Chains A and B, each alone.
Chain A
Amino acid sequence: MSLPFIIIAVVTLLAAAAAMSLRNLVHCALSLVVALAGLAALYLNLDAQFVGFAQILVYVGAVAILIVFAVLLTRSDATPNQAILAPGWLIGIAISAVVFATLGWSVLHSAGLPKEAPPAPTATVKNIGDALMTRFVLPLEVIGLLLTAALIGAVIIAMREENPNSGSSRDDEAPLSRKSEPPSAFAQLRRDEHVGSCGTEKGGAS
């Protein structure tokens, strides 16, 4: 084990522990950024340059920003002094300690692991592109389909539903809609179109 590996590993693990234990959620998200960047550095240390930069682009660039936005959108400043751990947290800590002990014991006592490091493999972007287009073309297509489905699904889930196609019995057909909140601009627009096209609805655009 070389010295850079130890330094990067210590920084990554400390940042991950901070991301899981701090009280302020924004601090947790920023610690997560440090942990993910440390993982990218570990990938670079292991001669996986493409994966390292993909990790930086996807995780540090996209997922961390998404998490920060979610933290800011769901922040409630009503009770800042409430507990951050769920009841029964001691059992969870014990379970994860047992998991780590099992994994660590099996790593340290397994005989089949290769002892010395082979010379660094050459994984250029050209090789990766060739492999993606020949051997792994079917998983690539499936990933594209999955990303499209996840994109549409995330938009539909997070979109505020105001049940635009119902007539006078809107409140009866939407038991899950939040009645106390003002309608969003999108629902307002749909409702105006509905009023304009049918002309039977009264007072919808109040």
Chain B
Amino acid sequence: MTPLQGCLLVSALLFAIGLAGAVTRRNAILALVGIELMLNAANLNFIAFWRYGPNPEALSGMMVVIFSIAIAAAEAAVGLALIITIYRHYKTANLDEIRNLKG
């Protein structure tokens, strides 16, 4: 197994863990954490291909990861604000108890 394949396998396993958490956990915050883990798995893929791919001087993969980190930070802030607002309204953060619109 080459180092690139090792990185890609770690990234795939991290993505699968994040997907399983985002799909199966009841708490909304942990669903958001699962999404963050999936984003980080994609970032690891970018860095691995930047490191082991041809022409790493162009810095393309690294730039994508830097912008992705910024977008993930914005997404986490807005998502957690939404969760806090939902918790104030419904008095719960469990996703399967938030059923009705305009309740």
A complexed with B: yes
A20 adjacent to B17 (CB under 8 Å): yes
Asked whether, in the complex, the Cβ of B29 is within 8 Å of the Cβ of A71, the reply is yes
Cβ 8 A contact of A176, one of B1, B19, B20, B89: B89
Check if A25 sits within 8 Å of B51, measured CB to CB.
no
Contact call B84/A16, Cβ cutoff below 8 A = no
User: Interface residue count for A (Cβ, 8 Å)?
Assistant: 89
B84 engages A123 (CB within 8 Å): no
Q: Is the CB of A104 within 8 A of B9?
A: yes
For A151-184 the 0/1 string (1 means CB < 8 A from B) is 1011101101000000000000001101001000
| Segment from A35-43, A187-195, A198-206 that makes contact with B | A35-43
A133 vs B93: C-alpha distance in the bound complex, in angstroms? 42
Please determine whether B51 and A158 come into contact, CB atoms closer than 8 angstroms.
no
Q: In whole angstroms, how far apart are the Cα atoms of A181 and B21 in the complex?
A: 33
Select which of A43, A74, A86, A131 is within 8 A of B93 by beta carbon. A74
The answer to whether B7 touches A70, judged by C-beta atoms less than 8 angstroms apart, is: no
Q: Are B26 and A143 in contact (CB under 8 A)?
A: no
Interface residue tally of chain B, by bracket?
35 or more
Residue on A nearest B12 in the bound complex, by CB: A103
| Inter-chain contact B24/A89, CB cutoff 8 Å | yes
Q: Which of B1-55 contact A (CB under 8 A)?
A: 1-10, 12-21, 23-27, 29-30, 32-34, 36-37, 40, 43-44, 47-48, 50-54
* Chain B hits for A70, CB < 8 A: 29, 80, 83-84
On whether the beta carbons of B81 and A157 are closer than 8 Å, the reply is yes
Of all chain B residues, which has the CB nearest A103?
B12
Which partner residue on chain B sits nearest A157 by CB separation?
B81
Contacts of B17 in A (CB 8 A): 13, 16-17, 20, 96
What separation, in Å, do the CA atoms of A132 and B81 have in the docked complex?
30
5 A-B pairs in the complex with CB atoms less than 8 angstroms apart: A20-B34, A96-B17, A96-B19, A118-B54, A178-B89
Q: Beyond the given A128-B62, A131-B59, could you list 12 further A-B residue pairs with CB under 8 A, ordered by the A residue number? A: A1-B6, A25-B27, A32-B33, A48-B65, A51-B47, A51-B62, A62-B73, A89-B24, A92-B24, A121-B51, A123-B62, A135-B63
B interface residue numbers (CB < 8 A to A): 1-10, 12-21, 23-27, 29-30, 32-34, 36-37, 40, 43-44, 47-48, 50-54, 56-57, 59, 62-63, 65-67, 69-78, 80-85, 87-89, 91-96, 102
Residues of A within 8 A of B (CB): 1-2, 5-6, 9, 12-13, 16-17, 19-21, 25, 28-29, 32, 35-36, 39, 42-43, 46-48, 50-51, 54-55, 58-59, 62-63, 66-67, 69-71, 73-74, 76, 82-87, 89, 92-93, 95-97, 99-100, 103-104, 107-108, 113-118, 121-123, 127-128, 131-132, 135-136, 139, 143, 146-147, 150-151, 153-155, 157-158, 160, 175-176, 178, 181
